[in-house]
Structure 1
Amino acid sequence: MPTADRLRSRSTRTRRRRWAAALTAVALALAGTVLGAGDAGAESNGGVRVMPLGDSITEGTQVPGGYRIGLWQRLAAGRYTTDFVGSQFNGPGALGDHDHEGHPGWRIDQIDANVTGWLRTHTPRTVLLHIGTNDILQNYNVGGAPQRLSTLIDHITTTVPDADVFVATVIPLSNSGQESAARTFNAAIPGIVQSKVTSGRHVHLVDMHGRLTTSDLIDGVHPTAGGYDRMAAAWYDALRSVPGSIGQPGGGTPGVIKGVGSGRCLDVAGASQTNGAQAQIWDCNGQANQQWTPTAAGELRVYGTKCLDVYNRGTADGTGVIVWDCNGQDNQRWRLNADGTITAVGANKCLDVSGAGTANGVKVQIWSCGGAANQRWTRT
């Protein structure tokens, strides 16, 4: 990095160290450590935005990540590019995107009191709703639960009218009295969903109760790992049955990636398709060497078969970024973050325009994340 950049203020260096430390922690977690529940890390791969919405069964109590693990794995295997969204964040490294909107202990009315704000913030294309278990466990006006659910669905479809909303029946409960109440609640859901469909809303029923039995529960309420995986299969089948709800197999939509600091686009030098061709910035022109497609595997593909690649799997500041045949290695995996930065997963560093340059032909590299304009990008 040029001398001018090394002379940045002490406060900027401090911020860089804090960013690097935070991102290192995330990288270690993604390597296999279970991430604790908390505010979302706002991971994104630029795919179709899907909000898992509900209570502890969405959060994954007993098995952190819950059904989201198996669902993510199925989506990736099916070559769908999806972006889980929400204000919460947890799960293991096997879960490629940890964002969700699952709130342990919450009833329908509590989700309803907050849902409009979450939807406006995260603008999901698709919503996966499993809610009502705590109304039954807390014996909270159970007879009124179907109407509360109907009102919640109205608030969701009004706030994001173009979204597909998948409404699940609640899973079984081991306590016989509570299971009876769950069955009564579930019996009302098909009629609620049909009423929304009749009014022109994009609402779909998912029979989750029928996919599990009490033998799939670890504590009488929450599923075992196998039970959560059965939930994942049910969600996946439902999503695939509704065209557009998770996009098309094979990745996201090609688009340009524009540098915030330069106003120029991420570009393959000379429109080369040769392995090792340098990534740079250049005036945006919409040509094939500026069309990048995010995939469920975390790649940024160009020309269909080449991937944005950190040279020689390097991790040092200043390592060049090139294109290479896609091979699935960590140096070809990228994470699109909510603040506009793009993280090289293998190096845990940010896609960076060398020297904060703005001219055509300035090379692109990786550098410790600091949030400066030469590390922020927009995708259109």
Structure 2
Amino acid sequence: MLMWRRWCAGAFLAMVAVAMGAVSGTGAASAESNGGVRVMPLGDSITEGTQVPGGYRIGLWQRLAAGRYTNDFVGSQFNGPGNLGDHDHEGHPGWRIDQIDANIAGWARTYNPRTVLLHIGTNDVLQNYNVSGAPQRLSTLVDHITSAVPSADVFVATIIPLANSGQENAARTFNATIPGIVQSKVNAGKHVHLVDMHAKLTTADLIDGIHPTATGYDKMAAAWFAALQAVSGSIGQPGGSDPSPSPSPTEGTTAIRGAGSARCLDVTGASQASGTLVQIWDCNGQANQQWTLTSAGELRVYGSKCLDVYQQSTADGAQVQIWDCNGQSNQKWRFASDGSIVATGANKCLDVPNHSTANGVKLQIWSCGGAANQRWTRV
């Protein structure tokens, strides 16, 4: 049971129905392997899909299939509808961080996931279980995952909103610690990535104040998919042509010139300091205009700095800067066939504000529209 505290009667009855197995197909996994990259959805009832059996796994599976990725969801649990092609998962209704942690080593040995999708902490808040200690428990859990499967990519999500204002405040406090936890793992050389799931949903996306509606779960699916696409190898490579993402050019160091301005992508003042904003400037061939697209989807300058969306924002107008390369989704980019450069973590385009052509205009991300101020050429 996700809820251990008293709630409104409707939500409580919904929980009881799930606990009694009212949703058909819930139970131990049947090892529904279809080969491909092993992905473990890991967490509580939001991973299991309470209220909407299969939850975000439905939309994620459909996106993977549409992109012709070959994947194998793994875990000891099994549920969901027929249009979810692989029903295996490791979602446990009512479980807290410590309960997942107590079992993760065994699950990792059994299923050896290549990729882990971790959304956990909601029950720590709902049960008011030593909430101040939840960040350390999460950090320890991530350490145990990376120790058990050191080559795996671990995607750590902030928990989604809660309708109760007091619990939402606790959730936000917990979520605020997660970027630092993830960064500490990255600094230690671990393959850990942040997914800001809380920002993707609102309380309007909740069916009972806790669990998402079908639309809310699909928003989660979209966020997971964007994060996975941004990390090379986490879901393998498409088995055929994919109409949505366009292939990226091969590695190589070039200038990048704006179609609308005829000016180049430029690090302001030729600075090498993290946090320096990126602008357009007359093309001059200097080092602060030389960009390398890596196989990991980074746009590197000076060898060790990456084109970076400020504070991992996904909002229109978020500024673009350089920062130490860290492998996170806000440093992943792809060149689309129309000449746009897409920030894959936000699914928005590198944009010159207001169609300006003036030297020194600072760049941003914006919803893709195909206009000249969002088109670029490698020269």
Give the TM-score, by structure 1 length.
Answer: 0.57
Among 140, 158, 163, the residue aligned to 2:147: 158
Q: How does 1:352-371 map to 2 (within 5 A)?
A: none
**Partner of 1:73 in structure 2?**
62
**Partner of 1:204 in structure 2?**
193
Corresponding position: 1:240 with 2:251: no
Give the TM-score, by structure 2 length.
Answer: 0.57
Q: 1-side partners of 2:25 and 2:83: how far apart?
A: 14
Q: How does 1:103-114 map to 2 (within 5 A)?
A: 103-114=92-103
What secondary structure, in the 3-state scheme, does the structure 2 residue paired with 1:242 have? coil
The amino acid across from 2:237 in the alignment is Q
| Consecutive unaligned residues in structure 2, runs of 5 or more | 1-22, 241-379
**Partner of 1:168 in structure 2?**
157
**Partner of 2:73 in structure 1?**
84
1:45 shift after superposition: 1.2
What secondary structure, in the 3-state scheme, does the structure 1 residue paired with 2:89 have? strand
Q: How does 1:16-31 map to 2 (within 5 A)?
A: none
Question: How many aligned positions are there?
Answer: 219
The amino acid across from 1:202 in the alignment is H
What secondary structure, in the 3-state scheme, does the structure 2 residue paired with 1:101 have? strand
Corresponding position: 1:188 with 2:156: no
Q: How does 1:251-330 map to 2 (within 5 A)?
A: none
The amino acid across from 1:231 in the alignment is M
Q: 2-side partners of 1:173 and 1:39: how far apart?
A: 28
The amino acid across from 2:31 in the alignment is A
Q: 2-side partners of 1:118 and 1:246: how far apart?
A: 19
Q: 1-side partners of 2:147 and 2:103: how far apart?
A: 14
**Partner of 2:204 in structure 1?**
215
Q: 2-side partners of 1:236 and 1:35: how far apart?
A: 26
What secondary structure, in the 3-state scheme, does the structure 1 residue paired with 2:39 have? strand
Q: 2-side partners of 1:185 and 1:37: how far apart?
A: 30
Q: 1-side partners of 2:29 and 2:144: how far apart?
A: 23
What secondary structure, in the 3-state scheme, does the structure 1 residue paired with 2:177 have? helix
1:36 shift after superposition: 2.1
What secondary structure, in the 3-state scheme, does the structure 2 residue paired with 1:128 have? strand
After superposition, what is the alpha-carbon deviation per residue over 1:255-311, rounded to whole angstroms, capped at 9, x for unaligned? Answer: xxxxxxxxxxxxxxxxxxxxxxxxxxxxxxxxxxxxxxxxxxxxxxxxxxxxxxxxx
Large movers: runs of 4+ above 4 Å: none
Q: 1-side partners of 2:88 and 2:222: how far apart?
A: 19
**Partner of 1:121 in structure 2?**
110
**Partner of 1:350 in structure 2?**
none
After superposition, what is the alpha-carbon deviation per residue over 1:114-151, rounded to whole angstroms, capped at 9, x for unaligned? Answer: 01000100000000000000000000000000000000
Q: 1-side partners of 2:105 and 2:91: how far apart?
A: 15
Q: 1-side partners of 2:57 and 2:183: how far apart?
A: 26
After superposition, what is the alpha-carbon deviation per residue over 1:238-262, rounded to whole angstroms, capped at 9, x for unaligned? Answer: 00000000000017xxxxxxxxxxx
Q: 1-side partners of 2:132 and 2:232: how far apart?
A: 35
**Partner of 1:177 in structure 2?**
166
**Partner of 2:215 in structure 1?**
226
Among 61, 69, 86, the residue aligned to 2:50: 61
What secondary structure, in the 3-state scheme, does the structure 2 residue paired with 1:51 have? strand
**Partner of 1:102 in structure 2?**
91
With CA pairs under 8 Å and 6+ residues apart, which has the higher RCO, 1 or 2? 1
1:44 shift after superposition: 1.1
What secondary structure, in the 3-state scheme, does the structure 2 residue paired with 1:227 have? helix
Identical residues among aligned pairs (%): 84
1:194 shift after superposition: 0.2
| Consecutive unaligned residues in structure 1, runs of 5 or more | 1-33, 252-380
Q: 2-side partners of 1:41 and 1:64: how far apart?
A: 16
What secondary structure, in the 3-state scheme, does the structure 2 residue paired with 1:165 have? strand
RMSD between aligned residues: 1.1
Q: 2-side partners of 1:139 and 1:69: how far apart?
A: 30
Q: 2-side partners of 1:245 and 1:68: how far apart?
A: 16
What secondary structure, in the 3-state scheme, does the structure 2 residue paired with 1:166 have? strand
What secondary structure, in the 3-state scheme, does the structure 1 residue paired with 2:218 have? helix
**Partner of 1:130 in structure 2?**
119
1:37 shift after superposition: 1.2
Q: 2-side partners of 1:60 and 1:119: how far apart?
A: 21
1:35 shift after superposition: 4.1
